[in-house]
């Protein structure tokens, strides 16, 4: 811990910063040699070699028989994930707008980030009273219709995401673990999650999953509306429109 603390500059850890430089050099110059990396980033060969061996152990780079380096399989997985997320917003935005116009309510696209749901795209209708959305806004995974993201996780990952104590936001918030797990099972079976005032008493929210090219749930698409003007017939209509929109996004992502 002393060595790590000593090499910090502000909030930057120097060794991590240099390791990223090494990885980027390998990415930009496939089959690059140790000596070239060392010269380009002005670091000693022994230090660069230690970093390359660490990156190689984690699958981020691989060493050829000729002693040169190129990206490994883990780096390719990271690149594919990053590309998919960028494509996700680009592909989803016009479909999200179309969904919002059809429902005349707020539509959002959310992903899991650091154990929470994160808004990465939105559409708000041009009406005075509407649900306000904000890109970058976070919400809990265990309450509201964003439980749809939690529902499709692997069981062991799902359990890690559920807090030991479930905070109550409203009288409708599920605070019992057994009841929450049963709700998640129902969401998996139905492919939709509907929330009536679980996070805000004045809000009805409907979410469905978006699938990546491999069939995994990569995001959730959502319609949120004020409770006073939302009837069961509206929820049914939103569900159909959401499933159609999610199918379009999933298809364009390769599913």
Question: pLDDT (tens digit, 9 = 90+) per residue, 48-94?
Answer: 999 999 999 999 999 998 999 999 888 877 776 666 667 788 899 99
CATH dotted code for 14-78: 1.10.10.10
CATH dotted code for 86-253: 3.30.450.40
Which of 199, 195, 193 has its CA nearest to residue 171?
199
9-38 pLDDT, tens digit per residue, is 455 688 888 899 999 889 888 889 999 999
Whether the model clears a pTM of 0.75, i.e. scores above it, the answer is: no
Residue 110 and residue 208: Cα distance in Å, rounded? 10
Residue 11 pLDDT: 59
Q: Tell me if residue 186 falls in helix, strand or coil.
A: helix
Residue 190 and residue 49: Cα distance in Å, rounded? 52
Residue 73 and residue 95: Cα distance in Å, rounded? 33
State the pLDDT confidence band at 214, using cuts at 50, 70 and 90: confident
User: What ranges do the domains of the chain cover?
Assistant: 14-78, 86-253
Residue 9 and residue 32: Cα distance in Å, rounded? 29
């Amino acid at each position: 811990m002393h060595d790590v603390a000593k090499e910090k500059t502000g909030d930057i850890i120097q060794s991590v910063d240099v390791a990223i430089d090494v990885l980027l050099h390998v990415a930009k110059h496939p089959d690059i040699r140790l000596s070239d990396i060392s010269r380009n980033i002005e670091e000693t060969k022994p230090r660069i070699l230690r970093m390359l061996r660490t990156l190689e152990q984690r699958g981020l780079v691989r060493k050829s028989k000729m002693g040169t380096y190129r990206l490994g399989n883990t780096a390719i997985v990271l690149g594919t994930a990053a590309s998919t997320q960028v494509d996700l917003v680009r592909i989803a935005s016009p479909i999200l707008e179309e969904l919002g116009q059809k429902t005349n309510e707020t539509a959002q696209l959310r992903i899991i980030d650091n154990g929470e749901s994160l808004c990465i795209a939105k559409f708000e209708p041009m009406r005075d009273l509407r649900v306000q959305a904000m890109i970058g806004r976070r919400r809990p995974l265990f309450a509201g219709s964003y439980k749809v993201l939690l529902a499709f996780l692997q069981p062991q990952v799902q359990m890690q995401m559920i807090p030991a104590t479930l905070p109550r936001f409203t009288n409708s918030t599920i605070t019992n673990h057994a009841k929450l797990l049963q709700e998640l099972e129902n969401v998996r079976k139905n492919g939709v999650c509907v929330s009536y005032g679980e996070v805000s008493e004045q809000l009805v929210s409907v979410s469905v999953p978006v699938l990546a090219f491999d069939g995994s749930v990569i995001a959730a698409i959502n319609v949120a509306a004020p409770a006073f003007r939302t009837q069961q017939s509206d929820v049914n209509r939103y569900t159909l429109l959401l499933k159609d929109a999610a199918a379009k996004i999933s298809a364009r992502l390769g599913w």
